[in-house]
Every structure is written in C-alpha cells, then in structure tokens.
Amino acid sequence: MNSIIYQNLGMAETHKNYIDGLWQDAATGATFKDINPARNADVIGNFPESGVEDVDDAVRAARHAFKKWSRRPAPERGDILRRIGDLLTERKSELAFQMTREMGKPFFETKGDVQEAIDTAYYAGTETRRLFGRTVPSEMPNKFNMSLRRPIGVCGVITAWNFPVAVPTWKMFPALACGNTIVFKPSEMAPHSGALLVQIMADAGVPPGVLNLVQGSANAGRALVEHPDVNLVSFTGSTVTGSKIGETCGRMHKRLSLEMGGKNPMIVLADADLDLVIDGLVWGAFGTTGQRCTATSRLIVHEDVHDELVENLRQRAVALKLGYGNDDDTEMGPVINQAAMDKIQSYMDIAKDEGAEILTGGKPASGEGLDDGFFFEPTILTGVTPEMRVAKEEIFGPVLSVLSISSYEEAVQVANNIEFGLSSSLYTSDVTTAFKAMHDIEAGITYINGPTIGAEAHMPFGGVKGTGNGHREGGWEVFDFYSETKTVYVDYSGQLQKAQIDNVDD
Ligand code: NAD
C-alpha cells in the first residue's frame, strides 16, 4: 500500500452537489452508492441522484455568473487556471489515490491522469494571452476588418469514468479560458474524483456559479442536454449515448462536441522491431485494464511474425500482476463494475461461436486479493477475422483480438473496416510505409512505432467516423470550439460604401 492510508473502509460519507458556490443535496434527497471496484466492501460514499430541478438550479447559477466571468480579462481567468495547476500539483498523490480507489486503474496511471490535468491547466492558462482574432485587409478604402472571439455561454460537460480527472479538464479548462461558465456532470461511476476536482477548482478561486457540479446518472445528463439555457454540450462516453445526445442537440441547435468509442488497431509489419512492439502492446492492450477509448483492441500482425509475437505476448499477459491499484506491485487493476464483467464475459461466448480461439484469459480472475473485486484475466483472442464481432465492437476490457494479414495494403483495409476511428498505430522500420500510413489509416490519431495510447495535452485529440463529430479536444483547436467568431467591420471613410458593388466596374 502506498504512503497514504485511507481508513474509511465501510463508512460511507454522504457527498453533495456544488451549485452557485454551495455544497448541497439533490432536491429529492435521493442518493446513489459508489464502491471500490477492487474491494467491493469499501464504500466510497453516497452521492446525489440529481434530477431536472437540480440541473435547473445549476444552469441558472451558471447563466447568472456568465455576465461577470465572460467580461473578466482573459489573462485574469488564466491566473486562476494556473492556480488550479498549482493546487493539482500539490494534491496530486492524494487525488490519484482516491481516483484509483474509485475507478481501479493503478496509482502510477492515476498520477498520469492528474498530470494531464496539470498540463492542461498551465496550457489553457497561457492560451488566455493568445486568444487571437485576425485583422484582414478590406476590399474597400478606409475600412478595417477583423474577427474576434466571444464566449458561448453555459457549457454542459458530461463525461465517462475512465479518465475522471483528465477528460473533464480537457473540456472545462479551455471553456473557462474562453469566458464560459459550466455545469459539470461526472460519470456516476466516478463521482468522487469529479467532486475532488471541483473542490480544487473552487479552492483555486473559480468564482461561485462559474463552475457547478451536478452528480447523477443518465437522467441528470439528459436534463442538462435538454435544458434550453445550455448553449454548448461537450460529451465523452459511448457511441450509443453520444448518438442520443447528438439528436437532441441537433434539434435544439446547440454546439456539440462528441468523443466516443474506439476499436483501435495496432498494425505490426514483418520489418518491425518486435522487442519494441511487445512493450507497446502490453501497455496498449492491458493498460487501464483495456478500458481506454484509445486502448489497443485489435492487433493486425503480418503472418511472418504472428506466431512469435503472439507467443511473447501470451507470456507477458499471464505474468501481469493483477490487484488493487493502490498496492505498489499492481500492474493491472479491475474493470469498473459487474455490468462490465458480464459484457466482457459475453464476448468470450461470441468469440467462440464465431470461431476465434481464446489463447489465454477469457474468464474472471481469482486468487488472493481478487475475489472481492471485478477482476478479469488479460485475454488474447486469436484466429479473429475482420467480419467477427470481436473485431468490430468495442468490448472495453482487457481483451485483444489478433488478426493475421499478409501485406501492408491488407493491414490498412482491415484497420479501416470499422465504424470507429479514434487512435491507431503502426510498427515498421520502413520510413516510406510509415508516411503512407499517416494518410491511409482512417483515424484521428496515428502513432508510428508506439502503441495507440499516449496523448499529450497540447496536441489535438479526437476521432473520425463513429468516434467523433469533427471537433478536437486538447491542443490549439479546442479554443475554437469554446468560442464563437464575431466578424467586425469598421468603416472610417465617412460615407456609405457598398461591398461587391462600389468597387466593381461592370
Ligand atoms: P456512457 O455513455 O455510458 O456514459 C457517459 C456519460 O454520459 C455518463 O456521465 C452518463 O451518466 C451520461 N449519460 C448516459 N446516458 C445519457 C443520456 N441519455 N443523456 C445524457 N447523458 C447520459 O459511457 P461510459 O460507460 O461511462 O464510458 C465508456 C465509453 O466512453 C467507452 O465507449 C469509451 O470508448 C468512451 N470514451 C471515449 C473517450 C474519447 O475521448 N473518445 C474517452 C474516454 C471514454
């Protein structure tokens, strides 16, 4: 166990929403329970099961706060973001510990999750001094053309549980930088991490009403999306949920960013450095117990190196140390809940029915320290073909589907034969093939000689096809999503000038 001792086993704390600067219960008083997926007897707490009334209160507070916050000089908002970065740095271990306890990934991974939030805070803080517009020559004399940015209004932020600190900050920090206010609904599977993040942001000086937290499940999310005074929705979660949200936002003309599921391919060609591949593969497929939108879930490997690579991988997979992520030697944690266990198990039957082979794993893990949690063995499916469901559907667990190919062209075809398009990777020692792949693979992200995971906060992040709707998080592009372009013409000629008419000789 690492140095922070948590002694609250079995004693459930009751947590609250954060609306207009006050911590408060849901209007109905209803709560839901949050447990440790590695040690089910460890109840983290009870959280408000919010509904329409709570969302309405939060949106009203955010709307009221918008007036002042949006007019504050952007660099001043940046100062607060940098203070958030400082506090996250100070509380990194504490936050990571609680995150591991709540959603299961090992402590070294949750520290990375917090670090991503720290990087995002400093990056967004600095960008408040670079929220550029443009000046452009006018086609008329004595006229000045420019564009500038305006904030959008109240942002509804709805997130998944697997990056419970980093992903909300990808949305909230640029939203705040641009002058928007927020109602945040974290996943019902990671409410504690969401609440701790909000507390840090409040402690750093985010004013009351600028950031509001509404806990709860799909009902609360739906109320937020449907609220007429929410101008923008930023969602990370499954493609099924994202599609529903997309319908509502389309109907209500809301600005919307969707970051959804993945089925990410790693292509390994015959000229790849297999020692490099194996490390990337173990990390890509089994890091975060395979519960990353960017997890390597398909290995598309050249037939000449298939057997050697798969056997090496099998040896590494069976040697992985499963356990509670706050124990020092744990390499892979649990999956999030019983529903995830059931879903993963159901895909084992599907794989067998379709003719794939379970090379290793394929069942819940048992043994010392594993029987009171949702542990599933690292699983490798071989003999998978492109049309099988295990090659196409997101399983979201420690399951790797292996497909054998005989050429680069076939590998790309197999990689693209999918409804998703988030991340991808190619291992090769041939620079020509590497550059071709950057264009050929249909995905928002391509790694060359690295696994499908490893996003950096200052680079655009997002997917194509069923994964996204054309926006990017992270990097410089996200600031375009959280601001509206205003075009301004200043005519100082002292007379009426008619564009496209006065200056054209017919
Ligand atoms: P989910 O879709 O079940 O839930 C996500 C969030 O949406 C939760 O907060 C949930 O309460 C809320 N929600 C559910 N129904 C809703 C509705 N009808 N209206 C409004 N809100 C609603 O997803 P999950 O199981 O929490 O997360 C796993 C999924 O997230 C995977 O598919 C994974 O690939 C994806 N994910 C994507 C990214 C990315 O950046 N592309 C990152 C992390 C996770």
Residue 3's pLDDT is: 35
Q: Could you tell me if residue 328 is inside a domain?
A: yes
- Which atom from ligand 1 is nearest to the alpha carbon of 245? 19
302 in the same domain as 213: no
Q: Could you tell me if residue 470 is inside a domain?
A: no
pLDDT average per 10 residues of sequence, the chain (506 residues): 40 90 98 98 97 98 98 98 98 98 98 98 98 97 97 98 98 98 98 98 98 98 98 97 98 98 98 98 98 98 98 98 98 98 98 98 97 98 98 98 98 97 98 98 98 96 96 96 98 96 86
Q: What is the CATH number of the domain that holds 418?
A: 3.40.309.10
Q: Could you tell me if residue 277 is inside a domain?
A: yes
Nearest to 399 by CA among 299, 469, 470: 299
Residues of the domain holding 61 = 13-129+154-260+476-486
Q: How far is the CA of 261 from the centre of ligand 1 (A)?
A: 9
Reading across the β-sheet that carries 13-14, which strands appear in turn? 13-14, 43-48, 31-35
Q: How far apart are CA 86 and CA 81, in angstroms?
A: 9
Nearest to 424 by CA among 209, 265, 260, 194: 265
Q: Could you tell me if residue 103 is inside a domain?
A: yes
Q: How far is the CA of 68 from the centre of ligand 1 (A)?
A: 32
Contact 164 CB / ligand 1 (< 6 Å): no
Contact 340 CB / ligand 1 (< 6 Å): no
Q: What is the CATH number of the domain that holds 32?
A: 3.40.605.10
Residue 11's pLDDT is: 57
438 in the same domain as 302: yes
Q: Could you tell me if residue 498 is inside a domain?
A: no
Contact 244 CB / ligand 1 (< 6 Å): yes
Ligand 1 pocket mutation pick from 263, 288, 293 by most atoms within 8 angstroms of CB: 293
Contact 245 CB / ligand 1 (< 6 Å): yes
39 in the same domain as 111: yes
Q: In the annotation, is 442 catalytic?
A: no
Angle between helix 408-416 and 431-440 (nearest 10): 30
Angle between helix 239-252 and 218-226 (nearest 10): 20
Task: Name the phi and psi angles at 219, rounded to 5.
Answer: -60, -45
Reading across the β-sheet that carries 22-24, which strands appear in turn? 22-24, 17-19, 211-213, 181-185, 154-158, 232-236, 255-259
- Sorted by sequence, the CB contacts under 8 Å of residue 55 that are 6+ apart come out as 183, 214, 220, 223, 224, 227
285 in the same domain as 232: no
Q: Could you tell me if residue 493 is inside a domain?
A: no
269 in the same domain as 250: no
Q: How far is the CA of 270 from the centre of ligand 1 (A)?
A: 37
Given the residues 49, 116, 127, 259, select the one marked as catalytic. 259
Contact 163 CB / ligand 1 (< 6 Å): yes
Q: In the annotation, is 178 catalytic?
A: no
Domain count, the chain: 2
- Which atom from ligand 1 is nearest to the alpha carbon of 188? 11
- Which atom from ligand 1 is nearest to the alpha carbon of 187? 9
The enclosing H or E element of 42 equals none
Task: Name the phi and psi angles at 188, rounded to 5.
Answer: -70, -10
Residue 10's pLDDT is: 45
Q: How far is the CA of 184 from the centre of ligand 1 (A)?
A: 13
276 in the same domain as 205: no
252 in the same domain as 274: no
Given the residues 293, 377, 394, 473, select the one marked as catalytic. 293
Q: How far is the CA of 238 from the centre of ligand 1 (A)?
A: 4
384 in the same domain as 362: yes
256 in the same domain as 268: no
Q: How far is the CA of 194 from the centre of ligand 1 (A)?
A: 14
426 in the same domain as 376: yes
Q: How far is the CA of 110 from the centre of ligand 1 (A)?
A: 19
226 in the same domain as 326: no
Contact 222 CB / ligand 1 (< 6 Å): yes
Ligand 1 pocket mutation pick from 193, 241, 453 by most atoms within 8 angstroms of CB: 241
Q: Could you tell me if residue 19 is inside a domain?
A: yes
Q: Read off the amino acid at residue 89.
A: T
Residue 284 DSSP SS3 = helix
Q: Whose CA is nearest to atom 38 of ligand 1?
A: 293
Q: Could you tell me if residue 3 is inside a domain?
A: no
271 in the same domain as 247: no
Residue 303's pLDDT is: 98
Nearest to 375 by CA among 337, 421, 408, 432: 337
